[in-house]
Structure 1
Amino acid sequence: MHKSNQFALIPVMFCFFAMGFVDLVGIASNYVKADLNLSNSAANVFPSLVFFWFLIFAVPTGMLMNKIGRKKTVLVSLAVTVASLLLPLFGNSYGLMLVSFSLLGIGNALMQTSLNPLISNLISSERFAATLTFGQFIKAIASFMAPIIAAWGAAASIPHFGLGWRVLFPIYMIIGVLATLMLSATPIEEEPMAAKPTTFTQTIKLLGTPIVLLSFIGIMCHVGIDVGVNTHAPKILEERLNLSLEESGFSTSLYFIFRTLGCLSGSYILAKFNKRSFFYISVCMMVLSMLGLALGTSKAVLYVAIALVGFGNSNIFSLVFSQAVLSLPNKKNEVSGLMIMGLFGGTIFPLVMGPASDAVGQWGAVVVMACGVLYLFTYGKKVTGI
């Protein structure tokens, strides 16, 4: 196992914070929906578009890492992310926001594909899942701060340079620039690059390995549930309790608060206790959450349901990703690209949830997420390594 200066974890974790910028799309799509008077289906194009780029860029990013290295690929991803956050300073038209969210998705696809395996250059394989979970904890801080900053900017009494809720973008852009500078200045020893890089076709063929395919679908379900709750939790509260967007927007923060707590506790639990038991406990919490979101009619029940799915879903990515990557240690970059391509689930789920909620109300969106939870339950039975 390659060892680098452990202080290199500091800028890398700062990059995980920048990785969390992608989750602003949930609350941002709700504000754009209100600003432009869009339907649920039209508004859900934004989160779907963000995660569409994972399908296109994840595997090529794995190949890019084989050519220029993981650190340089992360730096490219940060540059694209900063550019995406710059655009909303010039307006909030539908076209401009589409371009902004597209760049945000492209940058995040590059970042998630390269930053996660970069961790393996800094820690032992035994602590890989736990360290990934701690990175997800840092990422979740950025995620739950986004709705709070947006609501603060939307308050009429706050000076926000005419940006309103969009004040979120320059704040995160400045942090993105800092992350870029910190990582640039940090030396990280990486594994030697392969003399003959893996081709796109060879990478896709790795899906023929059962654990890789099962994990790929597991990642799709994890992120589909994540984006689904992020986007639809405020809508559920608006529909059931007649709350305003500013009031219901707290549900997104609540989700990420408990996801943050889950990641923080998970980084300890995964390092000390049985991973399989923890996986099942997490999925069972998500099952209870789906029941609460489907049937709940009070703020208390809905908030508990949102908290349960936040905590339960917080460690699924790290468990599934680490199982896949460690199953083929000589193909980490390629498997990482495939797993991040699975984040395309963040496109599929909202595209189905939007029409479902337009047709039968937010109950329809919950049913779609529940299908993802059911798959994760079966994944735990099929994968023995957890």
Structure 2
Amino acid sequence: MDSVMNQTERQTSSVMPMFIVGTLFFIFGFVTWLNGSLIPFLQIACELTHMEAYLVTMAFYISYTVMALPMSVILRRTGYRKGMMLGLLIMALGSLIFIPAAEARMFSVFLVALFVLGTGLTILQTASNPYIVHIGPHETAAVRISIMGLMNKGAGIVAPLVFTAFILSDMSQFTEAHLATLDPAHKLAELEALSSRLVMPYMIMAGMLLVLAALVHFSPLPEIETEKNEAEGETSSIRQHPNLILGVIALFFYVGVEVIAGDTIGLFGKEMGVTNFGQLTSYTMAFMVSAYIVGMFVIPRWIKQETALVISAVLGLILSVMVMVGSGESYAVWNAMFAWTGVPAIPNVVLFVALLGFANALVWPAIWPMALAGLGSLTSTGSALLIMAISGGAIFPFLYGAIADVSGNSQSAYWIMIPCYLFILFYALKGHKLKSWGR
């Protein structure tokens, strides 16, 4: 009887922490998937090439690799709750740096702001992911993680819509054709006016982050014990687990294709003549959310997570090919499948990029348990390596932009996703089963 009461009390006591941490997941989902709309905006405002525009993702995601270990050291000293508050404060600082960047229309300062935002998110993710596991019963941890994932991807639907409503409204005077007709002085004035649109939204975002930091500080969030440092000898043996090493590589490729699908679609749609190009990341995120919900019902009830990963990789390969050969003028697929939604239609080729969100959704939750299987006391080190694999989001969109610039064809540049999905398929079929490098 007492054990039942204790379990009930524990579930009740986790409701408020779940709400607060869920809000954090929404916030860093919102900030992360805002990049998809920010890339085409900054390309216009700062007159950037493809490759330069994708430095947005480079600056943002590379912070996960550069700052992951320093932030973990800070986290061990501050604890999880104070670490979350610190992450929010750093994100607020990054938002404030957007203000002088927008006023001066300096792309380099925008990149600094994005790096600082990514740094805040690094410590926030490092603190909140294990926190959500420990604040409730172990047997329901997967449910809590799934809820947090839905909050994160749901924010990816909202962010581009908000950005479009407040920033990208009335963009007709900023088309390349119109700007080309202006003399240098008038063109500069137009672009400065466009850049200044970012000032108020990011000022509001900074204020909201500061309020949330105060909420975390004064909230009843319980502190949880941080794990002890692993022995040096144990850490060095991490290389003896091929399922982890290959899992890190697979996750590196996965985050690369996930960010390509979410963050390049806006600029690609703009080139394909889509008028609501600033909202296109929402399409990708909507498909991700739908796949996430499907996965919650079918895994492991009807299909194993290994099977889900195989399906995801194969679907990613098929859609990658369809993106490269699809039509930028036909709307037939959208009209046949999604006209009933009333959502603005997009060309087939752009829709195929958005559908990659459906293919990608189940990869992250499938790779993690496979990669960490059998690690024992090395689990926290393995988790840190997997977090660092998020840097794939920095590398692959930038490479995509470079290929698009060199080839002059952004559609064919999507071939870069094919080797990524092939490695994920290898990991799903064989890589995660390897117990040693010899077999």
Name the TM-score class by shorter chain: 0.7 to 0.9
Q: CA deviation at 1:70?
A: 2.7
Corresponding pairs, count: 377
Q: CA deviation at 1:163?
A: 4.4
1:188 aligns with 2:222: yes
Partner of 1:83: 93
Name which of 356, 364, 372 aligns with 1:309.
356
Q: CA deviation at 1:292?
A: 2.2
Compared CA separation, residues 322 and 349, structure 1 to 2 (3 A)? same
Moved segments of 4+, more than 6 Å? 199-202
CA contact (8 A) 1:55 1:342 kept: yes
**For the residues of structure 1 that align with 2:373 and 2:79, how far apart are their CA atoms?**
19
Q: CA deviation at 1:384?
A: 4.4
**For the residues of structure 2 that align with 1:161 and 1:219, how far apart are their CA atoms?**
37
CA contact (8 A) 1:131 1:267 kept: no
**For the residues of structure 1 that align with 2:206 and 2:89, how far apart are their CA atoms?**
10
Partner of 1:6: 14
Partner of 2:64: 54
Compared CA separation, residues 45 and 121, structure 1 to 2 (3 A)? same
1:224 aligns with 2:265: no
1:281 aligns with 2:311: yes
Map of 1:193-208 to 2, 5 A cutoff?
Answer: 193-194=227-228, 197-198=229-230, 203=235, 206-208=238-240
Question: Structure 2: which amino acid aligns with 1:285?
Answer: L
CA contact (8 A) 1:224 1:347 kept: yes
1:380 aligns with 2:428: yes
CA contact (8 A) 1:121 1:191 kept: no
Compared CA separation, residues 207 and 260, structure 1 to 2 (3 A)? farther
Q: What whole-Å deviation, never above 9, does each CA across 1:336-378 have from its counterpart, x for those lacking one?
A: 2211100011111122111111122113431112221111111
Q: What whole-Å deviation, never above 9, does each CA across 1:70-93 have from its counterpart, x for those lacking one?
A: 333222222111211122233422
Compared CA separation, residues 349 and 187, structure 1 to 2 (3 A)? same
Name which of 265, 273, 276 aligns with 2:294.
265
Partner of 2:283: 254
CA contact (8 A) 1:52 1:344 kept: yes
Partner of 2:185: none
Partner of 1:330: 377
CA contact (8 A) 2:60 2:394 kept: yes
Partner of 1:291: 321
Compared CA separation, residues 183 and 288, structure 1 to 2 (3 A)? farther
TM-score of the aligned structures, taking structure 2 as reference length: 0.77
1:15 aligns with 2:24: yes
CA contact (8 A) 2:323 2:353 kept: yes
**For the residues of structure 2 that align with 1:171 and 1:200, how far apart are their CA atoms?**
45
Q: CA deviation at 1:203?
A: 4.9
CA contact (8 A) 1:134 1:263 kept: no
Compared CA separation, residues 84 and 208, structure 1 to 2 (3 A)? farther
Structure number with larger C-alpha Rg = 2
Compared CA separation, residues 199 and 41, structure 1 to 2 (3 A)? farther
Question: Structure 1: which amino acid aligns with 2:267?
Answer: K
Question: Structure 1: which amino acid aligns with 2:293?
Answer: L
User: Structure 1 stretch 316-325 or stretch 197-206: which is displaced more?
Assistant: 197-206
TM-score of the aligned structures, taking structure 1 as reference length: 0.87
Compared CA separation, residues 355 and 76, structure 1 to 2 (3 A)? same
**For the residues of structure 2 that align with 1:322 and 1:178, how far apart are their CA atoms?**
35
**For the residues of structure 1 that align with 2:146 and 2:433, how far apart are their CA atoms?**
20
The runs of 5 or more residues in structure 1 that have no matched partner are: none
Name which of 395, 402, 405 aligns with 1:355.
402
Compared CA separation, residues 71 and 202, structure 1 to 2 (3 A)? farther
**For the residues of structure 2 that align with 1:150 and 1:187, how far apart are their CA atoms?**
31
Partner of 1:97: 110
Q: CA deviation at 1:271?
A: 6.3
Q: CA deviation at 1:161?
A: 12
Q: CA deviation at 1:303?
A: 4.4
Task: Tell me the percent identity.
Answer: 19
